[in-house]
Amino acid sequence: MPSIQTALPPELVNNARRLYRECLRRAKYVGHRQNNTPLLVDMIRQQFKKNMLETNPEKIQTMMDAAARGLINHMLLESEQITGRKLSSKT
């Protein structure tokens, strides 16, 4: 029986791994500032573990896009707080 990793395109698997690592980094960064690192890291791990058996590439890409949007939104918020300037505009 082939493993799930060999059933999916390698670039999708690699992108998912990179996204997971980046989500963990961001959780540790935010958690350190708010003193709740274990909680945030555990939440990230649970979400990825819950979906780790998904084999539909379109669904995986949709989930990855949503996670990436969340990371980008958080980074924009952090930048706005640091600089005091609004970087994103809502229409």
3-41 pLDDT tens trace: 555 578 889 889 999 999 999 999 998 888 889 999 999
42-73 pLDDT tens trace: 999 999 999 989 999 999 999 999 999 988 88
Q: How far apart are CA 48 and CA 43, in angstroms?
A: 9
Question: Band of the pLDDT at 1, cuts 50, 70, 90?
Answer: very low
* pTM of the entire predicted model: 0.74
Distance linking the first and last C-alpha atoms of the chain: 50
Q: Residue type at 8?
A: L
| C-beta of residue 28 within 8 angstroms of C-beta of residue 41 | yes
